[in-house]
Each structure stands twice: as C-alpha cells, then as structure tokens.
Amino acid sequence: MLQNSNKLMNWSLRTITSQELGFEGNSFLEGLVVSIFIGGAFIGSISCGSLVDKLGCRRTFQLDTVPLILGAIISAQAHSLDEILLGRFLVGIGIGVNTVLVPIYISEVAPTKYRGSLGTFSQIGTCLGIIASLCLAIPSENDPHWWRIMLYIASIPGFLLALGMQFAVDSPRWLCKAGRIDDAKEVISNIWGPSQVDKAIEEFQSVIRNDGADLDSSWLELLQEPHSRVALIGGALFILQQFAGINGVLYFSSLTFRDVGITSSAIASLYVGLTNFAGALCASYLMDKQGRQVLLIASYLGMAVSMFVITGAISFPIDAEISSNLSILGTIMYIFTFAIGAGPVTGLIIPELSSSRTRGKILGFSFSVHWVFNFLVGLFFLEMVEKFGVAPVYAGFGGISLLAAAFAYYFIVETKGRSLEEIEMSLNSNYQGRNK
C-alpha cells in the first residue's frame, strides 16, 4: 500500500502544489520534480538487492518506511521547490525499494498453489490506493491548502507497515540461507502446514548446496548463466512493458474521455482506476489457473488490438460520435488487458525465474531498467505525439505489444504450480549436470 501513498503524492504535487509554490505551467520545473522522483526510485531499486540479501524482506520493509515517511512529511511542510525535490527524492528511494521487495516477499512466502493469485494483490492494492487518493482529493476543489493534509495522510501507510511487519514472518528461504533452520521450519509449519516442512527444507538446502549459502551475492554473478539469462529476460520484459505505451495511454485517457463529454479529470481517472481494478481481480482468479505465460501473451495481444482500434478510429473517422466511442472502448480494453497480464505478471515472473542466491539483485536490476525506460517514455512521448500524431504513436504501441507477445511465447517459461526450487533446478544446467 506504500506505493499508493505515492499515487496520492503524484496527483497533489502536479496540480495544487505547483500553484502555491509558483511553478504552475513551468514544464521544466514540473518535469524536474518527476525526474528527481524517478532518480530516487532508480537508486532504491538498484540498492534493494544487497539490503534484502543481508537483512531479509521483513527488516528491509521496516527500514524502507523511513524515507517514505520522511519524504511525505517534508513534502507536506514544503514552502519551496528545494523542499519538494528533497521530499520527492526520499519517496522515490522508498518506492524503488518497495517495488522490488513486494514481489520477492510474496513469491518467497506464498504457498506454491496460491503464489500467482497472491502475487496480484500488489496490483489490486495499487488500484485501491489510486481510487482512495481520488476520493481524498475531492476537498481540494474548495480548499487550496488541502494538498498538505493529503501528503500528511500519505505518511500513514509507512507507520502502519513498520508496525505491521513487526508481526509478520521472515521468508523461510532467507532464514534457511541465514542458517536459521529451526526458525524456517516454524514459519513453514505456520503458513504452509506441518506436512510441508520436511519437503520444503530439503528443497531449500538442495538449492543452497548447489548455489552457495552466502547471504551477499556479487553483482558480477548476474553476468554468469543462468542468472544472466533471467536478468536479460527481466530487463526486456520491463522495456517492452514501457514501450507498449501504458503511461502514454494513461496520460491521454482523460482527453479521450473528454471527447465523449466527461470533462472532470477526476471522474475520468476513476473510470481508469475501476477498469484497472477489475482487470487485477480477473488476474488474481486466472493466474494460478491459466498460467503466467498464457496471461502475458493474451494481455499483450489484447493491448495490441486495443491500440489498433484507437488508431483506426482516429485515422478513419466515419462519424465523430462513433470514433469517440471506439476510442473510449479501445482505451478501456487496453487498460483492462494490461491489468490482466502485462502489469501483474511482469513483476511476478521475474522472482519466480530467479535463483534464490541472486533473486534480490536480478529484481533490483530489472526494476532499475523499468524506471529508466519509464523516464524515457515520459520524456519523449509528447514530443513524438507532436511530431507524428497520436495515431502513428498508438500504432507503434500496438506493434511493440505484438513483439512483447512473441517474446513471451518464445522466452518465458511457465512457472504455474511449481515451487521456486523446482523452477531453479530446471533452469540451472550445473544442477542438472550433477544429477546426471
């Protein structure tokens, strides 16, 4: 839910704060605020791998709440651009760490049978956070200082997480790597059932014997097989996700809704949030039934069709009303199909394919790639639209979506119903060679 406090902050800092702090309409300064946040997120993501190796997910979560809480409070009290930038940078660091931590923790703690469904809860929580932030923003229409209250509220999830993780369990896989076998057995018994203890510990120890029990893996190991292959897949998935245009479509969604008479950006955003939420719920139901690869392929194919529908509506307008309705339909379809696969599966499949030894660093690398290309797409999107028009850019998004579907078909291994250790053993040629 800490990611949701950032959604609330994004909305506030790009609207009312720009008026009060004197940089409304200054695209350079508004872009600087966003850039500082993404820079912090990049640093947080790339540093998370080492932290989670040494401290485990539970303690890293608690440590991560410090920049998130401080960043929200500093932003709430800001009276200058410098204070806003400092607050955004701290929140960026916290969000960067958090985006890496959440999928690692869920994948390592969740029972194999429900790992996919539980992995989508992060997406569901984000959707709920966006909707909640929109509701919290309502008083700002009449109170120009309400944004400060919103940002104080944004610090609350950090306090709740710091307290809640005190009662949460450590990952049994991390406990086993740390040599705390008895603690690992207790956690497995409590969350997976006593009957799973012996089998799970045997699998953990088998992987540790093959991979090594050092809690602090080296970044250079990502250059070795099979870690390099998984790191490349993780980076490629996030590059394709960003170049498939999710941020551009969300940016233009309010304009698309305006064409059919929905003039309130808050109402338009609410439609988008509800669509995203519906897609995430479907993903939660389908993830462990249909599998990750199937959902990823279907999601990108649906996104491609949606982009081509919008492109056709813009390029070949038969009737103004029909074109507007097709644009709305395409936008809703795109967001819904993104939420079914490209959104939740991308963050879930990478820790599942990663080895226990390098999981934190591979995910940290993958999300750092995500933040870089998130920034690049945001930087050049409007320039591309101005130069080529919306239809060609959306057609390009559709083409990238088709490429992403093909990539998922040829390079993604299905992980449904398999423990992380089973997946790791099947991908590690050294382990297979030893068995032979």
Q: What is the 3-state secondary structure (H, E, C) of 299-315?
A: HHHHHHHHHHHHHHHHH
Sign of the Cα pseudo-torsion (348, 351, 354, 356, in order):
negative
| Cα–Cα nearest to 362, from 343, 376, 349 | 349
Rounded to whole angstroms, the Cα distance separating 319 from 323 reads 6
pTM of the model: 0.88
Which pLDDT band holds residue 409 (cuts at 50, 70, 90)?
A: very high
- The one-letter code for the residue type at 294 is V
Identify the residue with better confidence: 215 or 79.
Answer: 79
pLDDT grade, residue 178 (50/70/90)? confident
Report the pLDDT value the prediction gives residue 10, as an integer from 0 to 100.
47
pLDDT over 60 at 339, yes or no: yes
Query: CA angle at residue 30 from 395 to 236, to 5 degrees?
Result: 40
Output the pLDDT for position 349: 94
Contact (CB, 8 A) for 227 and 218: no
Residues 142, 299: contact at Cβ < 8 Å?
no
Query: What contacts 30, CB < 8 A, 6 or more positions away?
Result: 14, 18, 23
- Give percent of the chain with pLDDT exceeding 90: 52
Q: How many CB atoms lie within 10 A of CB 251?
A: 15
Q: What are phi and psi of 257, to 5 degrees?
A: -65, -35
Q: With 90 as the cut, is the pLDDT of residue 102 above it?
A: yes
pLDDT at 243 over 80: yes
* Rounded Cα distance, 375 and 231, in Å: 20
Of the pLDDT bands very low, low, confident and very high (cuts 50, 70, 90), residue 171 is: very high
Query: What pLDDT is recorded for position 29?
Result: 65
Short-list 395, 407, 390, 391, CA closest to 305? 395
| Burial call 359-387: b when 16+ CB within 10 Å, e when fewer | bbbbbbbbbbbbbbbbbebbeebeeebee
- Per cent of the chain over pLDDT 70 is 86
pLDDT attached to residue 390: 86
User: Looking at residue 261, what is its pLDDT?
Assistant: 60
CATH architecture for residues 9-15+25-166+220-426:
Up-down Bundle (1.20)
150 pLDDT band, cuts 50/70/90, is confident
